[in-house]
Structure 1
Amino acid sequence: MSKYYVNKFLYTVDRDPELLKRYTDDPRNLVATWEQSMGPKLLNNEVEASSVHAFTPEEREALINHDYVALFEMGAHFFLNLTIFIGIYDEPYMEKSGPLSFQKEMAAKLQHWRGKDYPTVET
């Protein structure tokens, strides 16, 4: 897993309301666009570029499908993984089930990690 690239995606998309909306509405298109044109840039300029230019097929599918469990298991940084999906799912979940509903669901889906060492987030 290119943890750096996945974490960079999670970080940059979560902090840009327009990108987050695009990721919510059309994840396949946003992931492809980000991977090809936004992700390689360093320091938000046209001169410097990362040498990592692609997600693995598994990373791409997990990002497209908003599969936060798979991302966690591949070693995506837990906080980045959590915060982006709170940005996407918190309001709809809260309307249905109250405060912290999404966080509780995420915790439930990660129950099989209870008592185990979490995947490393080292890059």
Structure 2
Amino acid sequence: MSRYLLNKFLYTVDRDPALVERYREDPRGTVTWWEAERANQILNCHVPEASTWLRFADVEREALASHDYVKLFELGAHPFLTLTLFIAMFERDHEPLGFQQEYARRLAHFSLPYPDIAT
């Protein structure tokens, strides 16, 4: 598993409104496309360079494809990155602060120490 790759996905998708919508509407397709086309691009590199080894583990891919932010948190995805992306996708479907409250409710069973989020 790669917390780096999970966080990279959350970070890059969250910063592109078109990708946010694509991920909302077609999560599995977006994850498959992103893994094939973007996972190995070097982050914030202005010249076309890429690595070749980064891949999601099956459990990571499934959690992303099913919008399972509880599982992503359990896997060590950074909670701020997860929360901001999922707010962008689902806040419109809730009352004001409703999604944030739902997020907190669904993560309430975690206690300290939280899963390690170091990359």
**Common fold: TM-score over 0.5:** yes
8 Å contact from structure 1 (residues 7, 76) kept in 2: yes
Structure 1: stretches of 5+ with no match in the other structure: none
Q: With structure 1 as the length reference, what TM-score do the two structures score?
A: 0.90
Would you say how many aligned residue pairs link Structure 1 and Structure 2?
Answer: 117
Q: With structure 2 as the length reference, what TM-score do the two structures score?
A: 0.93
8 Å contact from structure 1 (residues 13, 19) kept in 2: yes
Per-residue deviation, 1:19: 0.7
Mapped partners of 2:15, 2:90: distance in 1: 15
Query: Runs in 1 of length 4+ with deviation above 2 angstroms?
Result: 50-53
Partner of 1:76: 77
8 Å contact from structure 1 (residues 76, 121) kept in 2: yes
Structure ranking higher in helix proportion? 1
Change over 3 Å in CA distance of 1:58–1:44 after alignment to 2: farther
Identity %: 50
Structure 2: stretches of 5+ with no match in the other structure: none
Mapped partners of 1:69, 1:52: distance in 2: 26
Alpha-carbon RMSD: 1.2
2:114 is matched by which residue type in structure 1? Y
